[in-house]
Amino acid sequence: MTQLLPQNLLRENPARLPEVAEIDVVRHFTRLSQLNYCVDTNFYPLGSCTMKYNPKVNEDATRLDGFTKVHPYQPVEQCQGVLELLYHLEQMLKDISGMCAFTLQPAAGAHGELTGMLIIRAFMDNKGEKRNTIVIPDSAHGTNPASAALCGYAVESIKSNAGGLVDTEKLKASFTRDTAAIMITNPNTLGLFEKDILEICKIAHDAGGLVYCDGANMNALLGIARPGDMGVDILHLNLHKTFSTPHGGGGPGAGPIGVTDELKRFLPAPRIEIEQGKYTLQYNYPDSIGRVRAFYGHVGMMIRAYTYLLSLGKEGVQRAGEFAVLNANYLRHKLKGHYDIPYGTTCMHEFVISAKKQKKMGVSALDIAKKLLDYGYHAPTIYFPLIVEEALMIEPTETESRETLDAFVAAMLQIAADVEQRPESFRGLPQATPIGRPDEVKAAREPKLKWEFK
Q: Residue-wise pLDDT tens for the chain (454 aa)?
A: 667 888 888 888 888 888 899 999 999 999 988 888 888 889 999 999 999 999 999 999 999 999 999 998 999 999 999 999 999 999 999 999 999 999 999 999 999 999 999 999 999 999 999 999 999 999 888 899 999 999 999 999 999 999 999 999 999 999 999 999 999 999 999 999 999 999 999 999 999 999 999 999 999 999 999 999 999 999 999 999 999 998 876 678 899 999 999 999 999 999 999 999 999 999 999 999 999 998 889 999 999 999 999 999 999 999 999 999 999 999 999 999 999 999 989 999 999 999 999 999 999 999 999 999 999 999 999 999 999 999 999 999 999 999 999 999 999 999 999 999 999 999 989 998 888 888 888 888 888 777 665 4
Peptide bond into 270 cis (omega under 30): yes
168, 203 Cβ separation under 8 angstroms? yes
Residue ranges of domains in the chain = 56-311, 314-436
- Burial degree of 19 (CB within 10 A; 0-12, 13-18, 19+): exposed
| DSSP annotation of 263 | T
Q: What is the CATH number of domain 56-311?
A: 3.40.640.10
Q: Do domains 56-311 and 314-436 have the same CATH topology?
A: no
Q: What is the pTM of this model?
A: 0.91
- Which of these, 342, 301, 239, 273, lies nearest to 83 by C-alpha position? 273
- Cα 256 from Cα 311, distance rounded (Å): 20
Out of 3.50.50.60, 3.40.50.300, 3.90.1150.10, 3.40.50.1000, select the CATH number for domain 314-436.
Answer: 3.90.1150.10
CA dihedral of residues 18, 23, 28, 33 (deg, nearest 10)? 150
- Cα 9 from Cα 433, distance rounded (Å): 32
- Cα 409 from Cα 331, distance rounded (Å): 7
61, 309 Cβ separation under 8 angstroms? no
Beta-sheet strands, E only, within 230-364: 234-237, 257-259, 271-275, 278-282, 351-354
Instruction: Count CB-CB contacts under 10 A for residue 341.
Output: 20
Q: Phi and psi dihedrals of 339, rounded to 5?
A: -130, 150
As a whole number of Å, the end-to-end CA separation of the chain is 20
